């Protein structure tokens, strides 16, 4: 895996953005991208580098926003990071490029209330069909 | 012929764990299938946010009732990276020893389940009887057959003296003889081949499309194994082969898993004979500095990944767990299309389901 080449290709794809690679603690590189750039970036990873193994998608509520981390693996780890607003967060689905993303997107959707635009059947993965509480991994709304 | 939709599960006498299938059949043939999981979802990721780092070792050990040790290994290695700890070599060896013993026990359990599903009761009885050898060894080392509590942040809580090492080595020889007997039986038994060859086929392309990991990927010719590709714990000091096959069916998955079991026995011998002297732990502070880490290991069912984020307190801000079963469950729709109803249990057994793992 040519990590410098990947970084270079992403910089060429998004000339208006400042794209920096951040080294993780165990064989991992983190790259932050705007939410509307994730789908195109993954297309570049697949078409130019044959990097198509999506290990999972981590989602977290950092308080201010909903953060998504797309963990790829190709001999080393590559994590694409993006942030969505807490109000009605939505992002393009990756299932058209990587069918294996379906379960991960369904889980992110039910646990943090993120909508994946273009996802064919967004029913719950783990929660009961009649779940009517808030998405369980959201931080509790503050009362003040 | 009329199409019929058969619901199977979530509670069903033939299922070991709760999951729900809707099978659409026409006569004997499966036309379509729909899968629903989540019946043993325990909210473990959320629970981890409400416990401190030490307590969470025991929470993540309960993700899976078969491969509990690999979960604590992946979690502890992530937290150790956040703390910048250097774990002593003896601890890494003992940690890896339990990982490989656990793989042997998991693969033998799987072989027994598959054999029972296809009606080959002899192999079922043999495999589960001889799996007791590994369970006994793990119980002597840690006090537990399933939950071992062997990992702590910064090392391990178990040890083995010279006499114990010699006794384990003797029993590994017995186990290797037995596993080679199974291998010989399976290879010569025509009924076993008739039930598994060509069943549950997945091509290398399908493996990549669905991001499948572990023995299921290796049995379709996709050569991935994190023990070799990203060596963690003591794997960088071990010599071993990664087993692959090309056929991509339940037969190939059987061969990969049984041959992997023999490879794991060789690794256990290396770990025991080369066990370095030295301390078992380094002291770990209770508070973890702010940061994030992605920790990956090769569980018996394939790549296991943890993401841990620390906000500087004694509790993690986020623990994300993706178990390998989740990657194989998604392929069941493709594997079941067109097969006969009698092959459904073989397909299900072939992917080595662990529903509690997938649900967390």
Distance of alpha carbon B85 from alpha carbon B155, whole angstroms: 10
Q: Which of B82, B209, B326 sits opposite A99 (nearest CB)?
A: B209
Q: Which of A56, A124, A128 sits opposite B322 (nearest CB)?
A: A56
**pLDDT at res. A144:** 44
> What pLDDT digit, counting tens, does each position of B233-288 carry?
999 999 999 999 999 999 999 999 999 999 999 999 999 999 999 999 999 998 99
Query: For chain A, what is the radius of gyration of the CA atoms?
Result: 16
**pLDDT at res. A1:** 59
Cross-chain Cβ contact A58/B46 below 8 Å: no
**Which residue in chain A is spatially nearest to B47 when comparing CA positions?**
A137
Q: What percent of chain B has pLDDT over 90?
A: 72
Cross-chain Cβ contact A26/B295 below 8 Å: yes
**pLDDT at res. A141:** 57
Chain B contact set for A100 (CB, 8 A):
209-212, 327, 330
Structure tokens at B124: 């079922």
CB contact set of A7 (below 8 Å; sequence gap of 6+):
A19, A21, A31
Is the pLDDT at B305 greater than 60, yes or no?
yes
ipTM of this complex? 0.90
Q: How far is B181 from chain A (nearest CA, A)?
A: 36
Asked whether residue B28 is assigned to any structural domain, the reply reads: no
Burial of B2 (0-12, 13-18, 19+ CB in 10 A): exposed
Contact by Cβ (8 Å): B318, A58: yes
> What pLDDT digit, counting tens, does each position of B166-202 carry?
999 999 999 999 999 999 988 998 888 999 998 989 9
Which CATH number applies to A3-10+24-117?
3.30.460.80
- In this structure, the strands spanning B29-36 and B20-26 are antiparallel
Residues 288 through 347 of chain B touching chain A, CB cutoff 8 Å: 291-296, 303, 305, 307, 309, 317-318, 320, 322, 326-327, 329-330
Asked whether residue B333 is assigned to any structural domain, the reply reads: no
Chain B contact set for A26 (CB, 8 A):
77-78, 81, 232, 293-296
> What pLDDT digit, counting tens, does each position of B312-334 carry?
999 999 999 999 999 999 898 88
**pLDDT at res. A131:** 86
> What pLDDT digit, counting tens, does each position of B97-152 carry?
999 999 999 999 999 999 988 888 989 999 999 999 999 999 999 998 889 999 99
Cross-chain Cβ contact B296/A77 below 8 Å: yes
CB contact set of B205 (below 8 Å; sequence gap of 6+):
none
Q: How far is B35 from chain A (nearest CA, A)?
A: 10
Q: What is the CATH number of the domain that holds B155?
A: 1.10.645.10
Total number of domains in chain B:
1
Q: What percent of chain B has pLDDT over 70?
A: 100
Cross-chain Cβ contact A26/B294 below 8 Å: yes
Asked whether residue B352 is assigned to any structural domain, the reply reads: no
Residue B82 touches chain A, beta carbons under 8 Å: yes
**pLDDT at res. A142:** 47
Is the pLDDT at B79 greater than 60, yes or no?
yes
Asked whether residue B350 is assigned to any structural domain, the reply reads: no
Domain with B173, as residue range(s), is: 44-322
Cross-chain Cβ contact B209/A54 below 8 Å: no
- Average pLDDT over all residues of chain B: 92
**pLDDT at res. B358:** 87
Cross-chain Cβ contact A100/B209 below 8 Å: yes
Burial of A86 (0-12, 13-18, 19+ CB in 10 A): middle
Distance of alpha carbon B254 from alpha carbon A47, whole angstroms: 34
The tens place of each residue's pLDDT in chain A, 144 residues long, gives: 578 888 888 888 888 877 788 888 888 889 899 999 999 999 999 999 999 999 999 999 988 899 999 999 988 899 999 999 988 899 999 999 999 999 999 999 999 999 999 988 778 889 988 888 888 888 875 444
Residues 84 through 103 of chain A touching chain B, CB cutoff 8 Å: 98-103
Distance of alpha carbon B327 from alpha carbon B134, whole angstroms: 27
Structure tokens at B7: 């619901």
**pLDDT at res. B87:** 94
Contact by Cβ (8 Å): B349, B113: yes
Distance of alpha carbon B75 from alpha carbon B306, whole angstroms: 7
Is the pLDDT at B63 greater than 80, yes or no?
yes
């Amino acid at each position: 895996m040519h990590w410098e080449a990947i970084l270079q290709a992403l910089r060429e794809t998004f000339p208006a953005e400042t794209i920096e690679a951040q080294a993780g603690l165990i064989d991992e590189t983190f790259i932050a991208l705007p939410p509307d750039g994730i789908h195109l970036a993954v297309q570049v990873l697949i078409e130019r580098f044959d990097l198509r193994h999506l290990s999972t998608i981590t989602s977290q509520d950092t308080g201010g926003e909903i953060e998504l981390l797309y963990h790829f693996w190709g001999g080393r780890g590559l994590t694409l990071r993006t942030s969505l607003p807490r109000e009605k967060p939505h992002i393009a689905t990756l299932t058209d490029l990587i069918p294996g993303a379906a379960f991960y997107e369904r889980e992110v959707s039910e646990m943090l209330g993120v909508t994946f635009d273009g996802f064919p059947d967004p029913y719950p993965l783990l929660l009961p069909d009649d779940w009517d509480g808030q998405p369980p991994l959201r931080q509790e709304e503050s009362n003040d | 012929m009329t199409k019929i939709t058969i619901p199977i599960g979530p509670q069903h006498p033939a299922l070991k764990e709760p999951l729900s299938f809707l099978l659409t059949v026409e006569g004997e043939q499966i036309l379509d299938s729909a899968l629903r999981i989540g019946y043993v979802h325990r909210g473990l990721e959320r629970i981890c946010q409400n416990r401190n780092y030490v307590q969470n070792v025991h929470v993540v050990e309960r993700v899976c009732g078969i491969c509990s040790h690999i979960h604590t290994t992946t979690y502890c290695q992530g937290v150790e990276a956040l703390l910048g700890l250097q774990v002593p070599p003896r601890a890494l060896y003992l940690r890896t020893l339990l990982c490989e013993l656990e793989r042997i026990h998991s693969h033998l359990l799987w072989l027994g389940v598959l054999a029972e599903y296809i009606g080959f009761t002899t192999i079922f009885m043999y495999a589960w009887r001889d799996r007791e050898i590994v369970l006994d060894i793990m119980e002597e080392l840690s006090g537990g057959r399933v939950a071992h509590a062997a990992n702590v942040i910064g090392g391990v809580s178990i040890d083995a003296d010279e006499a114990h090492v010699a006794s384990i080595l003797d029993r590994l020889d017995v186990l290797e003889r037995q596993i080679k007997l199974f291998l010989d039986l399976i290879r010569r038994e025509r009924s076993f081949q008739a039930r598994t060859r060509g069943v549950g086929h997945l091509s290398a392309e399908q493996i990549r499309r669905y991001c499948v990991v572990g023995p299921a990927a290796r049995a379709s010719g996709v050569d991935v194994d994190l023990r070799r590709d990203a060596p963690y714990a003591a794997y960088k000091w071990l010599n071993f082969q990664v087993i692959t096959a090309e056929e991509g069916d339940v037969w190939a998955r059987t061969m990969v898993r049984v041959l992997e079991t023999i490879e794991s026995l060789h690794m256990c011998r290396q770990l025991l004979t080369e066990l370095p002297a030295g301390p078992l732990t380094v002291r770990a502070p209770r508070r973890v500095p702010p940061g994030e880490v992605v920790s990956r290991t090769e569980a018996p069912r394939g790549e296991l990944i943890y993401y841990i984020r620390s906000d500087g307190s004694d509790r993690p801000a986020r623990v994300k767990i993706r178990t390998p079963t989740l990657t194989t469950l998604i392929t069941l729709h493709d594997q079941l299309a067109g097969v006969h109803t009698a092959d459904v249990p073989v397909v299900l057994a072939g992917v080595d389901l662990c529903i509690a793992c997938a649900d967390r």
